[in-house]
Amino acid sequence: MRIGIDASRAFVDNPTGTERYSYEVITRLLKLPEAKKHTWILYVRPQFLISNFKFLNNDQMFKCPNVQIREIPLSRLWTQVGLAARTWVDDLDVLWVPAHTLPVLRKLGIRTVVTVHGLEYEWLPEYENWLQRWYLPLSTKYAVMSASRIIAVSEFTKRQLVERLGADERKIAVIHEGVTRQRLETSVQRLVKGKYLLFVGTIQPRKNLVRLIEAFSRLDARRYTLVIVGKLGWMYDEVVTLAKKHKVVITGCINEAERYGLLRNALVYVQPSITEGFGLPVLEAMAAGVPVVSSSGGALAEVVGDAGVLFEPYDVNDMSHKLSLVIHSHSLQEELIKKGRERVKQFSWEKAARETYRILISKS
């Protein structure tokens, strides 16, 4: 079987959620013993071949004769023109896109699998620019209705697909994301000193950081710092202004060792998002042995379970109260750390890769 994968998001510096998912699942999927029965064609953007040349040479996976790399040299219309054309040229049997967009003019009769990470644009359309407000609903709806199979990363996302987009429930498989147990760590003294609370993610309205900073400001600011790790996304001016006013550090993009160092040494990890299709950082915090305080928005309650303390995302008082509760209780911190370590055992990238493989080779 000839299986194509949109790997355009998989091998990038400073990956966000969808990019991390693509990398973790693709690399593990291709290393499955049973994967050697098939031909795998990875489609990448031009910059991949430059930034990942060393990675390609060092990883045996990419030296296997059944794994091929195809560069699509387009900066615009990469999916709808470049990827669409390759489905015909490479005579694919299956195409998997680990995001929400499928090429319309793809090879006739090809099986398609698409992963949907969430429908956040449905919740907060006012925070998207006009192009995204038009494009995201259209492209996601088309992908969901035309795909042979759909992978949803949470039960919450599956319900949203059925209720909001009218997706066929029988086509949807829920495959949870996994968690990477990072070991590489470096000093974070240049970034922050003393006790701190941590958030990791792109600075954008859906992450609810304005309310987080307001909730944090009600704590004893002399004793703690709030650290926000992530790139500036959009509509971030108010967050930056408030950060300067209160004891908040915005690091911007940092390397993986520093990111893990900050995570491993945080007093509390806080996830204030209004909604999430999954919520990978809360699992990473649990795996690092850090107590989690999280919004109940979207799929977060599903992912956190009883291994974290939840708050209502629009309620600043509730957020501040729950943070204070955990910060001032050593016994509660220990309990959450213990529960978190048990919780992450239920989430595995290996399991996600194996279940994805079964979907890709399935005839249905």
Claim to verify: residue 334 and residue 355 sit in the same structural domain: no
The structure's pTM equals 0.90
Between CA 8 and CA 123, with CA 11 as vertex, the angle to 5 degrees is: 60
Claim to verify: residue 150 and residue 248 sit in the same structural domain: no
| pLDDT for position 50 | 44
- d(C-alpha 36, C-alpha 43), whole Å: 18
Query: Average pLDDT by consecutive 10-residue portion of the chain (364 residues)?
Result: 95 82 94 94 78 52 77 90 96 95 94 94 71 83 96 97 96 95 61 88 94 94 89 88 91 86 94 95 95 97 98 98 97 98 96 98 86
Flag whether 186 is in a domain: no
pLDDT in tens, 18-57: 999 999 999 999 999 999 999 999 999 887 654 454 455 5
The number of distinct structural domains making up the chain is 2
Q: Which domain holds residue 228?
A: 196-346
Please report where in the chains the tokens 């016994």 appear, as a residue: 331
Token pair recorded at residue 87: 């489905």
| pLDDT for position 54 | 46
Claim to verify: residue 8 and residue 150 sit in the same structural domain: yes
Flag whether 242 is in a domain: yes
Q: In what order do the strands lie in the sheet with 196-200?
A: 248-252, 225-229, 196-200, 268-271, 292-295, 309-311
Q: Buried b vs exposed e over 328-338: b needs ≥16 C-beta within 10 Å?
A: eeeeebeebbe
Claim to verify: residue 214 and residue 152 sit in the same structural domain: no
194: exposed, middle or buried (Cβ count in 10 Å: 0-12, 13-18, 19+): exposed
| pLDDT for position 49 | 52
Claim to verify: residue 65 and residue 106 sit in the same structural domain: yes
